Structure 1
Amino acid sequence: MNNVLSIHSTDLTSSRYRGLGRNHRPGTMVGRTPVLRISQPFCDDESGFWAKLEGFNPGGMKDRPAMYMVERGRARGDLRPGARVIESTSGTLGLGLALAGTVYGHPVTLVADPGMEPIMHRMLSAFGADIQVVSEPHPEGGWQQARRERVAELLAQYPHSWYPDQYNNPDNVDAYQDLALELHAQLGAIDVLVCSVGTGGHSAGVARVLREFNPDMRLIGVDTIGSTIFGQPAATRLMRGLGSSIYPSNVDYAAFDEVHWVGPAEAVWACRTLAATHYASGGWSVGAVALVAGWVARNHSTDTTIAAVFPDGPQRYFDTVYNDDYCREHHLLNGPPPEEPAVISHPSEQVVSSWTRCLKVVDPVRSGR
């Protein structure tokens, strides 16, 4: 268990993919991802955390909810055979929906914004998805709300089309049962779970299942600066894949024990350091989660089982996180982050601009923020 580079996989085969048959082999590639032990330089060799490498899925972690939401929509009759699937995405869910469209025979239209990386746009098109890009952010809800309004227009345009609504669809939460069961099979009872938060699906779904095995498990949420999810004001966000300028109903605020906000330069350092020391990395969410999980490992005893979900791999970020020119342009090559985060007592105490921790987790909608 202390071998830094040991990789564990599981022989669990999801029941939801078992029956797809010879003609649906793409769907069987989802799930059963390995875990990797991470230690130095995030923490010392005696401590460490386990990273669930969801980048081993064909398109990343969101293959799981994309496949499941489509399956459940079909089972309920909400999604008719051959009907068009229309969704808003910053990229990763789009890959999953393109996969689901291939498996189940649905055309897919994805609404993105100019922040989507060119490589992601090209790959989604290659996988058969129709990409629509909004040109202006919503004055209050930013790019996400602008995308959602375009989705509403397209739903009216295409009869019988179907909208998964990843931000509010409870199937997005239920889809992560398999991920949680894989983690338990690989690691046993987990003491601390570290998850990035965007739609809120995987943090809610994984934590709910893992707490059936260990009710005392702590859940730590990782957000980006400029995100409104945990009560900070909306601001321009460089990081993609985590954070939000709207309030997804799938975020289970009561499940979190604390939240950390991470800045893009800190995430870039973590992404590149992971690549250089463990030959495994990913994008903004992976870097932010690794930074926080390393801090958790440094501040807990060596017998604490810490799991961190790495949502994707590095491929879509070659023009951003791993591009020196891009990083210099955005002042992201600032060296190692501080050993400890700043601490605030309440999300409304101040606007955070770098790695910051808060033990008070609030639901901004219910609290009136």
Structure 2
Amino acid sequence: MSTPPTETTPPARTALSGLVGNTPLLRVSEPFTQDGRGFWAKLEGFNPGGIKDRPALHMVERARARGDLRPGARIIESTSGTLGLGLALAGMVYGHPVTLVTDPGLEMSMTRLLTAYGAQVNVVSEPHPTGGWQEARRERVKQLMAQHPGSWCPDQYNNPDNTTAYTPLALELATELGHIDVLVCSVGTGGHSAGVSRVLRQLYPGLKVVGVDTIGSTIFGQPARPRLMRGLGSSIYPRNVAYENFSEVHWVAPSEAVWACRQLAASHYATGGWSVGAVALVAGWLARTLPEDTRIAAVFPDGPQRYLGTVYDDDYCAAHGLLDGPPALEPEVVGRVDEKEVTRWTRCTTVVDPLMLSETSEQAEQTEDVVLDDASAAEDEAEDERL
């Protein structure tokens, strides 16, 4: 992932980008699965800021190459934290001021860290009426860009460079594991699940991709609700999500992710935030239930540092009802992503783009209206004939 030195990129700053990538793999087994079984976890928390260092550097590099981002221009983007760290790094490497738009849910420790890295942090005060905090942040980005002529927004939710940035991660997994049967990824912007699965499916045509979302997220067709977990989930429909690549999706509740995070910490000395806990819970179940020789790769997007005041804080967890004990051994199962609103770990093996689902529902309603109108007309004609 390192960038070769150029006239505008001093060698010292290039060395900073060289810190990104080639993260370690960890074999995870008990207590998530029985002895002799397990899954491989790619520890992206070993990047300086986490997994989104990869797309931050790549999106900035490609925008500069195209001329979309001029030397010294301001970078402005919405973030729940991790991409913000990556953009702060990219701004430092390439010499761009960075403004990050976030919301009151961002941990104070993360705000302080982003500020320490030289980024300006802009906080929205009210959620959007229908799009929640995410849409409110995106609207603020537009306002700030109007105030800073020549500024550039990566638009991580729709930028295809966000997905191609993960080609090196996919190749690292392929090189280290030799073969992969199942890939487990959390889904937020859709970038790393789309980018990694695109490459791995070319190498392993039979690959199954399992997406992990949070309850209250709209990404896979559930209704939008206030979300405690950050880093995965969305209140909008990111167009980078490769719905066609997923074999199934699992929704996980905050208490279930907390249990998994703490089990990882106590048993493997490696853990992370909400996304890591949710992914570990699902990957462990897959390792227990699939054939023993199934090779499962799971992406752990970050480390535990920013979650010391939430996931790993007993008072915080108790106040939010997150210490209820271990989750169920099996997920609940639904046949359709919109069958019902899920409130605990739930699995669905029919994955569709919710926007397509909405269109199908509207078409069905229109068809039903036409049928009813035709039936009513036929009844009127029959009545006329009787008269």
Q: TM-score, normalised by structure 1?
A: 0.95
Instruction: Please report how far the alpha carbon of residue 212 of structure 1 lies from its aligned counterpart in structure 2 after TM superposition.
Output: 1.5
Equivalent residues in 2 for 1:1-20 (5 A)? 14=1, 16-19=2-5
Equivalent residues in 2 for 1:276-355 (5 A)? 276-355=266-345
1:161 aligns with 2:151: yes
The one of 110, 129, 133 equivalent to 2:119 is 129
1:187 aligns with 2:169: no
Instruction: Please report how far the alpha carbon of residue 303 of structure 1 lies from its aligned counterpart in structure 2 after TM superposition.
Output: 1.3
Q: TM-score, normalised by structure 2?
A: 0.91
Aligned to 1:95: 85
Whether contact under 8 Å (1:189, 1:210) holds in the other structure is: no
Equivalent residues in 2 for 1:14-33 (5 A)? 14=1, 16-19=2-5, 22-24=11-13, 25-33=15-23
Q: 2-side partners of 1:319 and 1:310: how far apart?
A: 19
Aligned to 1:254: 244
Specify the SS of the correspondent of 2:358. coil
More helix by share: 2
Aligned to 2:355: 365
Aligned to 1:203: 193
Aligned to 1:10: none
Equivalent residues in 2 for 1:74-85 (5 A)? 74-85=64-75
Specify the SS of the correspondent of 1:231. coil
The one of 102, 105, 127 equivalent to 1:112 is 102
Q: 2-side partners of 1:38 and 1:18: how far apart?
A: 35
Q: 2-side partners of 1:22 and 1:229: how far apart?
A: 41
Counterpart amino acid of 1:186?
A: E
Specify the SS of the correspondent of 1:365. helix
Aligned to 2:128: 138
Residues 52-102 of structure 1: CA deviation (Å, up to 9, x unaligned): 000000000000000000000000000000000000000000000000000
Instruction: Please report how far the alpha carbon of residue 21 of structure 1 lies from its aligned counterpart in structure 2 after TM superposition.
Output: 6.0
Counterpart amino acid of 1:96?
A: G
Residues 136-186 of structure 1: CA deviation (Å, up to 9, x unaligned): 000000000000000000000001000000000000000000000000111
Residues 240-272 of structure 1: CA deviation (Å, up to 9, x unaligned): 000000000000000000000000000000000
For structure 2, the residue ranges without an aligned partner over 5 or more in a row are 360-387
Counterpart amino acid of 2:3?
A: Y
* % identity of equivalent residues: 69
Specify the SS of the correspondent of 1:155. helix
Q: 2-side partners of 1:270 and 1:51: how far apart?
A: 14
Q: 1-side partners of 2:106 and 2:68: how far apart?
A: 29
Greater Rg by CA: 2
Q: Structure 1 segments of 4 or more deviating over 6 A?
A: none
RMSD after superposition: 0.9
For structure 1, the residue ranges without an aligned partner over 5 or more in a row are 1-13
1:44 aligns with 2:34: yes
Counterpart amino acid of 1:126?
A: A
